[in-house]
Amino acid sequence: MEDSITLSGSDNLKTADAKAWLRFLQVFTLTLGSGLMLAGIIFFFAYNWELMHRFVKLGIAVALILAVFAVAIKVKMSDFTHKITLSVLCGLVGVFWAIFGQVYQTTADSYVFFLTWALCILAWVYIADFYPLWAIFIALVSMGVIPLFPDNSWFLTLLMLYGAVWTAFFIFAPKYLLNLSAPPSWFISNMFVIEFGMAVFVVCLVIFRETDMLNGGITALNLLMALVVTVATIWYSLRQKNIWLYSMLFVGALIVLECVFIKCLTHEFGGLLLHLILSTATTIGAAFAIAVQYQKWKKEKSETSTNQSVIDNGK
């Protein structure tokens, strides 16, 4: 009998065929093999860590950085793989600083570690122009910068301002910085959602802790900042026709209204009944507003794509 592996499987389209199984087996064995091997190597160094000289410890981290850097420079690879390699490189810089801190017992605060790490990888993050890496960079900078904010009533305003600076940077900077591409929709949407989430949190806090926060202009400033963020989110969601962001506005509104209802209405039958009527009306209103807008934007998008295909066919 002839030895063979049939690659043109007779499966119907709904199940995996021979080619798919082959790919699955290759990915499975490669991932599992390299994962177990890597874990084994890490455990090996972990076991012998105390016995190693500090130069060896730092040397391992530096050697890894140099090796990955050499791969990123010398080896031909796809754009995506190149970006992933640069991301690994950025991660290894953090490993290096962690070992440095452990070896020399620098007793530095954690935010110094994150800030140093972020500053060291800034150039690579900019060169990679890879938005998942930008997201990690923002997280690192935030872990370094936010602890420096003064812990008083201005904190939330500063936090919203800080988020707004990042969001504005990614909206406007791609026009002026040559290497920076326009951010993908998921990235900017999430930036806005986080920023808007902070604004909603601030408003809810003002509703529930009015006695603490009604001192002078701080509450007004917090609310003003929340209002600016909300207006910016509305502007962006309408401009980009982003249904996700548009819906998040209603989720935020629903949460704020619930806080108002809980605060203002009594917890007896009459209060609960009124609460129920108002909540039902709000939910129905929000759901219909989203459904209508969704249908409208969907229609506009399909019309635009039809017009585009007509123009393309004309060419």
Partner 1 sequence: MENNSHKSKHLPWPLLIVMGLGGVIIAALLVGMVAINVRDNKIVYVVFSVIAIILAIAVSRSDESEDKEVKSLLASYPLFIIGFTFGYIAGIDFLTQTLVLQFVVALLSFALSKIHLCRQMQLCYASVVLPLIFFSYFDHLFSGRAMKDGNIEMSCFAIIVAYMGIFAATIKDNWFASTAIGDYLKTIRFATAAVSVALLWFIHRDNTAFAIFFAIISFVIACILLRKYVTGKRLIEGYVLALLCCASTAAYPAMALPITGMLLSFWLLDYVCLVIFSAAFICGISFFYYDLQMLLINKSYLLMASGALFLLAFYYIKRVTK
Q: Which of 231, 228, 250, 229 is nearest to 294 (CA)?
A: 250
Q: How far apart are CB 67 and partner 1 at their closest, in Å?
A: 19
Q: How far apart are CB 50 and partner 1 at their closest, in Å?
A: 12
Alpha carbon 94 to chain centroid distance?
19
Q: How far apart are CB 285 and partner 1 at their closest, in Å?
A: 10
Nearer to partner 1, 32 or 77 (CB): 32
Q: How far apart are CB 58 and partner 1 at their closest, in Å?
A: 21
- Spatial separation of the C-alpha atoms in residues 51 and 45, rounded to whole Å: 10
Nearer to partner 1, 40 or 314 (CB): 40
- Spatial separation of the C-alpha atoms in residues 169 and 162, rounded to whole Å: 11
Q: How far apart are CB 302 and partner 1 at their closest, in Å?
A: 13
Nearer to partner 1, 205 or 253 (CB): 253
Check if the beta carbon of residue 198 is closer than 8 Å to that of residue 227: no
- What lies within 8 Å, CB to CB, of 279 at 6+ separation is 257, 258, 261
Q: How far apart are CB 46 and partner 1 at their closest, in Å?
A: 7
Nearer to partner 1, 177 or 273 (CB): 273
C-alpha distances (whole Å) from 157 to each of 87, 219, 225, 228, 249 are: 32, 10, 6, 11, 20
Token pair 């000289």 is found at 53
Helix (H, G, I), strand (E, B) or coil at 312: helix
Check if the beta carbon of residue 207 is closer than 8 Å to that of residue 259: yes
Nearer to partner 1, 173 or 291 (CB): 291
Q: How far apart are CB 267 and partner 1 at their closest, in Å?
A: 8
Give 108: exposed, middle or buried? Use CB within 10 Å, 0-12, 13-18, 19+. middle
Give the DSSP letter string of 229-256: HHHHHHHHHHHHT-HHHHHHHHHHHHHH
What the block records as the tokens of 192 is: 């806005």
Nearer to partner 1, 227 or 276 (CB): 276
What is the SS3 string spanning 22-44? HHHHHHHHHHHHHHHHHHHHHHH
Nearer to partner 1, 7 or 63 (CB): 7
Radius of gyration over every alpha carbon of the chain, rounded to an integer in angstroms: 27
Q: How far apart are CB 28 and partner 1 at their closest, in Å?
A: 8
Nearer to partner 1, 37 or 231 (CB): 37
Site residues for partner 1 per CB under 8 A: 1-7, 9, 14-16, 18, 20-22, 24-26, 28-30, 32-44, 46-48, 243-244, 246-248, 250-251, 254, 258, 268-269, 272-273, 275-276, 279-280, 282-284, 286-288, 290-291, 294
Q: Which of 110, 113, 62 is nearest to 89 (CA)?
A: 62
